[in-house]
A and B are shown apart, each in its own frame.
Chain A
């Protein structure tokens, strides 16, 4: 102890300490800790730029990393990360976790991230010569690698119908199905840049799909919120100020409450399904019965053109296991084809739509423009016509005059 005073300080306090976790590696992680202490002293990273390593048959799944002081820290001269595709909803049994641990003990540092932000189980730190053996052991045990590079990244989803009464479709089934359907796109980078899918069972969006995926699939419904008035009365009797906490907080003011009858009324035609009332009175209010999802496109972080939140391209799509999600898959493939044809190197699909316009994009995926796609119509007069549209419009006007 204590040739690392800066990191030792981070072993104190109530929140679980990553330094204590790293120390559990013993001799295997000693030099990593010393290197990190040095970064804390110098306030800079000691990892070299990039690194291209992998396993046979795949173009992604491993992030290569090399220390910039290999003579002084030979144990971390190579320190690659392996992304392991997590099961839907991050559910595990103890047996599968122990299998993962045994493989990683045999081949790597013993350090993990549970999980990476995209969803993968991250095995943190091994050498090039171990990569293929780890992969062989993982795949024998039923685990496959996740995605990295210019490809379909590992899809992830909320816990959906497994443990949530809000879920509007089987998010975990869809996530598993899409991951398997697009294994080739996930393992063999062939696109202009990365593409992420995230799946949330309802508009609470517990996977942050709108912010963190190019293609966000967010559960919703088309009919009325199911109201149990007896439970509404129970909330009121238990002291909830229904007007203040629910009715006044409704973004569209489509609710009313009769305090005498303890009755809640919803004008469902004007509800935008924000989830607030359902979240607040979970026993009394339930999502509707005609369920599906909204599809939003373009979410991404800042680089290069600014951060985008995903926007609506398909207000409602049915997600049926019975037809193998045929409509959704057809749409995904059209989007990816158009993007693959048109994008520049390292251009996310949201940036491509920004550059080429929604008109081009909607035409390519064969979807009609609807007002649900915009917050408001454009405010400038700089819009395009195609020559065909103008010719057709003039022809139809002349025809109308002639027929008069």
Chain B
């Protein structure tokens, strides 16, 4: 380095071509089909007849460099030094030798890195920073994710569920990641309005930005204090004002928790993309295992497994049977919190006399 004060800028990422194994370079854009070999293993066949084997493993996303080095060692030993990460943070080893598949899986499994998550399986769980690194989290991310995945782990190692099962979590309503479009999603929520620190607002926040940050118009200027006031009737605790102003803290250990949304998807297959919908408005944060959250998610998953037809994602299954039947079958209480009262609410009401009676 000639000048220690500056680095080379605007060079962009390393070139992907340098990262690819020869079998991929040779068959790039010329793949013919793929098949499931067994849970955690895919086979892609090229026009050339070449066969590429992919071994996919679970990952908690938060990993130490020793683990990355271990993956690099495994890649050197079994896949010519090549691996990739998936859009759901799984790790994939790319093998041109089928004889290496089972030894690789056995060695990874013995070290605590189980294969799975391919085909119609429970996928790796998309999640966020939580208490490990974020200031606005209403719950932890890694902890409840670990608890949910431990509980449903069998489904990660199957590939014969009715359809794929994608679970996601976000630690606040910013909803980083994919919770708004997942089969099952849990998201950190607050239930009390922010505290207003007038001195901090006056000295550390841009008040027009704070006012504009509120989806429900609950924030008004308070010129006397050079601060703001929050209308308790209008605030639904989204926390966005805290995102733009540190003097409006909203975290509340007793009041915070998680909500469960279900039935979303992003793929265009069959019914097309859909948002996840609220089914449980609040579950307390129960460290370290979030027992109630885990139990409620398992209940929904088991109902889907027993009731859905082949190829039905959770949202498609519920659209078929109707939400009223879902609540009945799941034995979940319905209350007015589940009825939309934000901007686009009316089209979500039932403007037809078509519905099923429930017990």
Q: Is A243 an interface residue (CB 8 A)?
A: no
Bitwise interface map of B from 69 to 82 toward A, beta carbon under 8 Å scored 1, else 0: 10111011000011
Assess the A142–B14 pair: CB atoms within 8 A: yes
Contacts of B114 in A (CB 8 A): 14, 16
Assess the B83–A309 pair: CB atoms within 8 A: no
A113-B61, A114-B63, A144-B10 known; A307 and B275 CB under 8 Å?
yes
Q: Is B19 an interface residue (CB 8 A)?
A: yes
Complex: A20 Cα to B67 Cα, angstroms = 10
Assess the A138–B7 pair: CB atoms within 8 A: yes
Q: Is A298 an interface residue (CB 8 A)?
A: no
Within 8 A of A (CB), among B110-141: 112-114, 126, 128, 131-137, 140
Q: Is A362 an interface residue (CB 8 A)?
A: no
Main secondary structure of the interface of B (DSSP, over half): loop
- Taking a contact as CB atoms closer than 8 A, the residue among B34, B59, B147 that contacts A114 in the complex is B59
- Taking a contact as CB atoms closer than 8 A, the residue among A12, A94, A117, A304 that contacts B178 in the complex is A117
Contacts of A309 in B (CB 8 A): 181, 273, 275
Q: Is A269 an interface residue (CB 8 A)?
A: no
Query: What is the minimal beta-carbon distance from A174 to any residue of chain B, in angstroms?
Result: 11
Assess the B68–A114 pair: CB atoms within 8 A: yes
Bitwise interface map of B from 1 to 28 toward A, beta carbon under 8 Å scored 1, else 0: 1001111111111111011100010001
Q: Is B287 an interface residue (CB 8 A)?
A: yes
Contacts of A137 in B (CB 8 A): 7
Contacts of A113 in B (CB 8 A): 61-63, 89
Bitwise interface map of B from 286 to 321 toward A, beta carbon under 8 Å scored 1, else 0: 011100000000000000000000110000000000
A50-B135, A94-B83, A124-B133 known; A204 and B113 CB under 8 Å?
no
- Taking a contact as CB atoms closer than 8 A, the residue among B31, B128, B244, B253 that contacts A44 in the complex is B253
A18-B62, A117-B126 known; A179 and B135 CB under 8 Å?
no
Q: Is B86 an interface residue (CB 8 A)?
A: yes
- Taking a contact as CB atoms closer than 8 A, the residue among B176, B254, B287, B311 that contacts A249 in the complex is B311
Contacts of A276 in B (CB 8 A): 269-270, 311
Which of B209-217, B222-230, B330-338 sits within the interface?
A: B209-217
Contacts of A133 in B (CB 8 A): 4
Q: Is B65 an interface residue (CB 8 A)?
A: yes
Within 8 A of A (CB), among B232-285: 238, 240, 242-244, 246, 249, 251-254, 256, 266-273, 275, 285
Q: Is B58 an interface residue (CB 8 A)?
A: yes
Q: Is B177 an interface residue (CB 8 A)?
A: yes
Contacts of B271 in A (CB 8 A): 251
Contacts of A270 in B (CB 8 A): none
Complex: A309 Cα to B275 Cα, angstroms = 8
Contacts of B218 in A (CB 8 A): none
Assess the B181–A159 pair: CB atoms within 8 A: no
Assess the B175–A301 pair: CB atoms within 8 A: yes
Query: What is the minimal beta-carbon distance from A312 to any residue of chain B, in angstroms?
Result: 12
Q: Is A217 an interface residue (CB 8 A)?
A: no
Count contacts on A: residues with CB < 8 A to the other chain. Answer: 128
Closest to B289 in A: A9
Contacts of B213 in A (CB 8 A): 304, 346
Q: Is A191 an interface residue (CB 8 A)?
A: no
Query: What is the minimal beta-carbon distance from B157 to any residue of chain A, in angstroms?
Result: 9
Assess the B176–A301 pair: CB atoms within 8 A: yes
Q: Is A383 an interface residue (CB 8 A)?
A: no
Assess the A187–B24 pair: CB atoms within 8 A: no
A-B pairs with lowest CB-CB distance, top 5: A13-B150, A49-B246, A94-B72, A161-B29, A203-B268
Listed by A's residue number, 29 A-B pairs whose Cβ atoms lie within 8 Å are A7-B288, A10-B143, A13-B153, A16-B58, A18-B146, A36-B131, A40-B131, A40-B143, A40-B288, A42-B253, A44-B131, A45-B136, A45-B137, A45-B251, A49-B249, A65-B135, A89-B84, A91-B19, A113-B63, A163-B24, A163-B54, A164-B44, A204-B267, A204-B268, A209-B266, A249-B311, A251-B271, A274-B268, A344-B212
Q: Residues on A close to B: CB < 8 A? A: 6-7, 9-10, 12-22, 24-25, 32, 36, 39-50, 55-58, 65, 79, 81, 85-98, 100-101, 104-105, 110-115, 117, 124-125, 132-133, 135-140, 142-144, 156, 158-159, 161-165, 167, 170, 172, 176, 179-180, 183-184, 187, 203-212, 218, 244-245, 249, 251, 272-276, 279-280, 282-283, 301-307, 309, 344-346
Q: Residues on B close to A: CB < 8 A? A: 1, 4-16, 18-20, 24, 28-29, 31-35, 44, 52, 54, 58-69, 71-73, 75-76, 81-87, 89, 91, 94, 112-114, 126, 128, 131-137, 140, 142-143, 146-147, 149-150, 153, 156, 173-178, 180-181, 209, 212-215, 238, 240, 242-244, 246, 249, 251-254, 256, 266-273, 275, 285, 287-289, 310-311, 342-344
Can you add 10 more A-B contacts, CB < 8 Å, to A39-B131, A65-B135, A276-B270? A12-B150, A16-B114, A21-B67, A44-B251, A58-B9, A91-B82, A93-B81, A94-B73, A101-B65, A140-B1
